[in-house]
């Protein structure tokens, strides 16, 4: 039987009702005990570095999870990370950059309802996550949820209540779990050896455009961030009102050596800046990167990963555009 390390981090899956609202309270041991069938699939050791609602999880926790995986890499055949669903897609994306080319699986799962409730999806998701993790052909960072196996760079939470909370955006699910078995749709060739990274740049900002947004926001951004993700409308572009103030301020921002990644607020199919005048104008403001088909979560994590390695614009550009786990197509 395979040996799997379960890394429990909190989330609804481990939550109990309290006077203050739902709070992660259950230990990793209690979680495991709720699905005794897992013992027939693999040997599990558990560790619980923290027990948080995933709203509280950020880069320090991603680095901590990656460190636990790295330190235990030789000892185990795979890793299951239980996690809140709210920011699971960010954690999955971040782990995809921090742990690259892993021949062993790192599987994230959680649930929409606490494992303590009768109609919970936690038991199924846990069992599926361990079943997938114990599969001979599993590798890389994946989200297993509601029977779907999704690349860590392609997962997005698209429903707040339903059991099928996650979608695989602009890329197919690589497998599904049916009747306790993994049914493969896309079998990856296993990489040889993992590469671990140990740093992320935190001063990243996502600016979601709204109609009429003032370019004065750059007063703040220039002072406080190294990397900006500009979530524009549709195929992408910037407004020309206020005497082209947006373009002027963006140009200034870029001249300070900051990195700008342009993406779209539309969930699927990515940006295409050269389609419209508003997009071409943005391209003339200076050297910006395009997230193309990347999810916002992957773009955020990748920019944090790139800028932790270098602030040199051309190196950032080549790192950003180099595909990692089908993140950019
Ligand atoms: N607020 C919870 C969390 O992300 C939601 C969940 O797990 O479904 O930790």
Write out pLDDT tens, residues 195-228. 999 999 999 999 999 999 999 999 999 999 999 9
Q: Which of 151, 167, 196 is the last residue of a domain?
A: 196
In a domain, 192, yes or no: yes
Q: Is 84 in the pocket of ligand 1 (CB under 6 A)?
A: yes
Question: In this structure, are 41 and 188 located in the same domain?
Answer: yes
Number of domains into which the chain is organized: 2
What pTM does this model have? 0.97
Do residues 163 and 18 share a domain?
A: yes
126 Cα–ligand 1 center, Å: 15
Position 188 pLDDT exceeds 90: no
109 Cβ below 6 A of ligand 1: no
The residue behind tokens 């297993």 is 144
As a whole number of angstroms, the distance between CA 266 and CA 277 comes to: 19
> Is there a single domain that holds both residue 18 and residue 37?
yes
Asked if residue 134 and residue 72 are part of one domain, the reply reads yes
Does the residue 329 lie in any domain?
A: no
Could you tell me the distance, in angstroms and rounded to a whole number, from the CA of residue 295 to the centre of ligand 1? 20
Task: Give the whole-angstrom CA distance, residue 197 versus residue 95.
Answer: 9
Instruction: Pick the atom of ligand 1 nearest to 165's CA.
Output: 8
Relative to the CA of 86, which ligand 1 atom is closest? 4
> Is residue 58 included in any domain, yes or no?
yes
| Same-domain check for residues 168 and 30 | yes
Is 54 near ligand 1, meaning CB less than 6 Å away?
A: yes
Last residue of a domain, one of 146, 175, 196: 196
Predicted pLDDT at 72: 98
Domain co-membership, 181 together with 221: no
For ligand 1, say whether the CB of 53 is within 6 Å of any of its atoms.
yes
In this structure, the answer to whether residues 165 and 287 fall within a common structural domain is no
Arithmetic mean of pLDDT over the chain? 97
Q: Is the dihedral of CA 80, 81, 84, 87 positive or negative?
A: negative
Q: How far is CA 229 from CA 156, 187, 297, 309, 320, in A?
A: 17, 32, 11, 18, 13
Give the tens place of pLDDT for each residue, 241-261: 999 999 999 999 999 999 999
Tell the residue number behind the tokens 């998701």, with chain if given: 125
Which of 196, 222, 241 delimits the end of a domain? 196
Whether 94 and 212 map to the same domain: the answer is no
**Same domain for 143 and 227?**
no
Judge whether 328 lies within some domain.
no
Output the pLDDT for position 200: 98
**CATH code for the domain of 311:** 3.40.50.40
Gap from CA of 51 to ligand 1 centroid (Å) = 11
118 in a domain, yes or no? yes
pLDDT of residue 329: 84
**Residue 164 confidence class, pLDDT cut points 50, 70, 90:** very high
Q: Is there a domain that residue 327 lies in? A: no
Query: Domain span at residue 245?
Result: 204-321
Q: Note whether 26 and 156 are same-domain residues.
A: yes
Q: Indicate whether 121 and 62 sit together in one domain.
A: yes
The CA-CA-CA angle for residues 295, 127, 53, to 5°, reads 55
Tens of pLDDT, residues 10-63: 999 999 999 999 999 999 999 999 999 999 999 999 999 999 999 999 999 999
How open is the CA angle 122-125-126, to the nearest 5 degrees?
80
Closest residue to atom 3 of ligand 1, CA basis:
84
Q: Tell whether 188 and 305 lie within a shared domain.
A: no
CA of 86 to the centre of ligand 1 (A): 5
The C-alpha atoms of residue 64 and residue 323 are separated, in whole angstroms, by: 24
Residue 112 in contact with ligand 1 by CB distance below 6 A: yes
Q: How far apart are CA 271 and CA 290, in angstroms?
A: 7
For the purposes of burial, counting CB atoms within 10 Å of the CB of 136, is it exposed (0-12), middle (13-18) or buried (19 or more)?
exposed
Answer for the pair 132, 291: CB distance below 8 angstroms, yes or no.
no
Distances (CA, A) of 93 to 159, 173, 185: 18, 15, 21
CATH code (residue 7): 3.40.50.1170
State the residue for tokens 């690349």: 151
Q: In a mutational test of the pocket of ligand 1, which residue from 21, 53, 146, 297 has the highest number of ligand atoms less than 8 Å from its CB?
A: 53
Judge whether 128 lies within some domain. Answer: yes
Catalytic member of 9, 12, 87, 259: 12
Does residue 49 sit within a domain?
Answer: yes
- Strand duo 181-184 + 175-178: pairing: antiparallel
| Residue 55 is a catalytic residue | no
pLDDT tens, residue by residue, 104-154:
999 999 999 999 899 999 999 999 999 999 999 999 999 999 999 999 999
What is d(CA 39, CA 130) in angstroms, rounded to the nearest whole number? 10
């Amino acid at each position: 039987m395979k040996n799997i390390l379960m890394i429990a981090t909190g989330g609804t899956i481990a939550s109990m009702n309290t006077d203050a609202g739902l709070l992660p309270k259950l230990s990793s041991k209690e979680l495991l005990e709720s699905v005794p069938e897992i013992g027939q699939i693999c040997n599990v050791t558990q560790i619980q570095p923290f027990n948080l609602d995933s709203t509280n999880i950020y880069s320090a926790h991603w680095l901590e999870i990656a460190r636990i995986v790295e330190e235990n890499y030789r000892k185990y055949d795979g890793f299951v990370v239980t996690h809140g669903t709210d920011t699971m897609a960010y954690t999955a994306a971040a782990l995809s950059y921090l742990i690259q080319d892993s021949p062993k699986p790192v599987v994230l799962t959680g649930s929409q309802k606490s494992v303590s409730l009768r109609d919970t999806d936690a038991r199924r998701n846990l069992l599926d996550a361990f079943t997938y993790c114990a599969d001979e052909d599993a590798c890389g960072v994946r989200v297993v949820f509601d029977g779907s196996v999704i690349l860590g760079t392609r997962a997005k939470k698209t429903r707040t209540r339903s059991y099928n909370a996650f979608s695989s955006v602009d890329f197919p699910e690589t497998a599904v779990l049916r009747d306790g078995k993994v049914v493969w749709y896309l079998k990856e060739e296993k990489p040889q050896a993992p590469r671990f990274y140990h740093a992320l740049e935190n001063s990243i900002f996502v600016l979601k455009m709204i109609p009429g947004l003032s370019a004065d926001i750059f007063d703040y951004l220039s002072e406080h961030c190294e990397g900006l993700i500009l979530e524009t409308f549709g195929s992408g572009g910037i407004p020309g009102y206020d005497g082209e103030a947006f373009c002027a301020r963006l140009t200034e921002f870029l001249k300070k050596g900051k990195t700008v990644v342009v993406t779209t607020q539309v969930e699927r199919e990515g940006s295409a800046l050269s389609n419209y005048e508003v997009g071409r104008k943005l391209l003339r403001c200076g050297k910006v990167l395009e997230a193309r088909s990347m999810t916002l979560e992957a773009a955020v994590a990748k920019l944090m990963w790139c800028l932790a390695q270098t602030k040199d614009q051309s190196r950032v550009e080549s790192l950003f555009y180099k595909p990692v786990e089908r993140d950019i197509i």
